[in-house]
């Protein structure tokens, strides 16, 4: 199986030994505490689950700036986005302390991790602007990822963490949330050698379904990892339980048996376009995927990124040999009325726009809310029914 990024083995930071975990929980009751942002809480989950191998915890300002500018830590590890614990007020925290990190996403804000504090620093306005601009390619506060980052605070608490829980993800998505360790174990159990990963924060329509099948055929993959984001999204995006149900129905009815693993991960969407696409590739390698689909406007939002910027970054800014995973570059995929099948639009040069079944997200939402059936060429009827039920009762 493909090696994890930057390591011969996964380095999950979740304390799996029950007795040790209980001791840490008891210790945490007497430690100074900090309530995390949702973003930092999800960073903890990703560190705990092994997705962020080989990181040991939260980055310092020096590492964060280095990652923002060069996609490498000061020690030379390739990493595409800063992983920070940003808080509004760290006046009660000092280097050398152990602190309890509280989870804002669970009632009562229970302790999610214990952090060993290596440094407590204040971001300058200039440093924050650098991190924002390099990560998101914009400083526009209308960008949801920029707005989220800039609202977290400017105090940076760096140092390693010991993770005590997976926040709400294990309880709310017991059939879907999986750690990188669990995904690797299942891939091994299935005997898959080649695995193509598909990232989604949306339900899967016909184009997504066929794209997965095209990628599997082109790469000769033994199976497909459909890996959905389960954390927070921007307003208007479809909630995770609805997406989960829709995807499961599609796979059940329209994929060969035992060809797809349906899983999810506990992270809030960054909407960071190219940089987030690279992050997605890194942690899919940590899952055990050998290939990863990068499509049109991957991890994008609005008009902040070019249609294929998320593919081009792998050629322009990721040094050759840095990642073990291979990128499957996909074009916009749509149903061709001429050919009566889903195609990549680049493979149909004789087509005009009207030869494809194309619906905007806005149009799809309006049709579902009005109880109108989506074209069968665009969405499987069983999937459309699940989505229509959600929109009509939202």
Collapsing DSSP to helix, strand or coil, 388 comes out as: helix
User: Of these residues, 137, 178, 184, 201, which one is catalytic?
Assistant: 201
pLDDT of residue 201: 87
Query: 10 lies in a domain?
Result: no
- Digit-coded pLDDT (tens) for 259-303: 999 999 999 999 999 999 999 999 999 999 999 999 999 999 999
Instruction: Quote the pTM value.
Output: 0.95
Residues 357, 244 within the same domain = yes
Residue 350 lies in a domain: yes
Q: Which of 21, 202, 296, 365 is catalytic?
A: 202
Flag whether 9 is in a domain: no
Catalytic annotation present for 69? no
For the chain, what is the domain count? 2
Q: pLDDT, tens digit, for every residue of 74-86?
A: 999 999 999 999 9
Residue 182 and residue 163 share a domain: no
Give the model's pLDDT for residue 233: 84
- How far apart CA 104 and CA 86 sit, in angstroms, is 14
Q: Are residues 151 and 244 in the same domain?
A: no
CATH label of the domain that carries residue 247: 3.40.50.620
> pLDDT band at residue 369, thresholds of 50, 70 and 90?
confident
Integer Cα distance of 261 and 241 in angstroms: 17
220 and 92 within one domain: no
Active site residue 201: yes
CA proximity to 361, closest of 179, 210, 233, 244: 233
One domain for residues 79 and 147: yes
Same domain? 187 vs 257: yes
Residues 209 and 293 in one domain: yes
Omega within 30 of 0 (cis) for the link into 54: yes
Q: Same domain for 133 and 211? A: no
CATH number at residue 157: 3.10.400.10
Distance CA 170, CA 167 (A): 7
Domain containing residue 151: 18-167
Assigned domain for 380 exists: yes
Task: State how beta strands 333-336 and 341-344 pair.
Answer: antiparallel
Please indicate, yes or no, if residue 7 is contained in any of the structural domains: no
Buried b (16+ CB within 10 A) or exposed e, 274-298: bbbbbbbbbbbbbbbbbbbbbbbbb
Q: Is the domain of 154 the same as that of 199?
A: no
Residue 387 located in a structural domain? yes
Q: What's the distance, CA 76 to chain centroid?
A: 23
Q: How confident is the model at residue 366 (pLDDT cuts 50, 70, 90)?
A: confident
**Residue 234, pLDDT score:** 80
User: Could you tell me if 99 and 217 lie in one domain?
Assistant: no
Residue 8 lies in a domain: no
Confidence of residue 210 (pLDDT cuts 50, 70, 90): very high
User: Average pLDDT in the 319-332 region?
Assistant: 95
| Domain final position from 167, 197, 224 | 167
CB-side neighbour CA atoms (13 Å) of 227: 30
Quick one: 363 and 331 in the same domain? yes
Rg of the chain taking only CA atoms, in angstroms? 21
Query: Which residue stretches of the chain are H helix?
Result: 18-28, 38-48, 61-70, 125-136, 144-150, 169-172, 180-190, 206-219, 240-254, 273-287, 309-316, 361-369, 381-393
Examine the domain organization and report whether 277 and 372 are in the same domain: yes
| End position of a domain, from candidates 167, 199, 215 | 167
């Amino acid at each position: 199986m493909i090696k994890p990024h930057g390591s011969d083995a996964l380095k999950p930071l979740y304390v799996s030994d029950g007795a040790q975990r209980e001791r840490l929980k008891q210790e945490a009751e007497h430690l100074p505490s900090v309530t995390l942002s949702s973003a930092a809480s999800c960073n903890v989950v990703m560190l705990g689950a092994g997705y962020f191998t080989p990181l040991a915890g939260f980055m310092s300002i020096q590492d964060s700036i280095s990652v923002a500018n060069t996609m490498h830590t000061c020690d030379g590890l390739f990493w595409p986005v800063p992983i920070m614990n940003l808080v509004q007020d760290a006046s009660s925290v000092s280097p050398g302390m152990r602190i309890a990190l509280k989870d804002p996403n669970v009632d009562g804000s229970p302790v999610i991790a214990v952090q060993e504090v290596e440094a407590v620093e204040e971001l300058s306005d200039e440093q924050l602007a650098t991190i924002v601009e390099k990560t998101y390619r914009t400083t526009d506060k209308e960008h949801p990822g920029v707005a989220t980052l800039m609202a977290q605070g400017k105090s940076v608490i760096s140092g390693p963490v010991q993770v005590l829980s997976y926040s709400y993800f294990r309880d709310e998505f017991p059939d879907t949330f999986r750690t990188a360790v669990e995904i690797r174990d299942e891939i091994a159990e299935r005997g898959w050698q080649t695995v193509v990963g598909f990232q989604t924060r949306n339900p899967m329509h016909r184009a997504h379904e066929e794209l997965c099948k095209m990628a599997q055929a082109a790469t000769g993959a033994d199976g497909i990892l459909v890996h959905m984001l389960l954390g927070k999204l921007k307003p208007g995006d479809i909630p995770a339980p609805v997406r989960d149900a829709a995807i499961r129905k599609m796979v059940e009815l329209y994929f060969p048996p035992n060809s797809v693993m349906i899983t999810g991960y506990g992270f809030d969407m960054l909407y960071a376009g190219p940089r987030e696409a690279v992050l997605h590739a890194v942690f899919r390698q940590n899952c055990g995927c050998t290939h990863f689909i990068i499509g049109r406007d991957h991890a994008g939002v609005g008009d902040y990124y070019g249609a294929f910027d998320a593919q081009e970054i792998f050629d322009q800014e990721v040094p050759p040999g840095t990642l073990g995973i291979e990128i499957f570059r996909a074009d916009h995929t749509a149903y061709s009325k001429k050919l009566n099948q889903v195609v990549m639009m680049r493979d149909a040069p004789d087509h005009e726009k009207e030869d494809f079944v194309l619906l905007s997200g806005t149009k799809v939402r309006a049709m579902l809310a009005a109880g109108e059936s989506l074209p069968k060429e665009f969405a499987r009827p069983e999937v459309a029914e699940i989505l229509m039920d959600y929109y009509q009762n939202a």
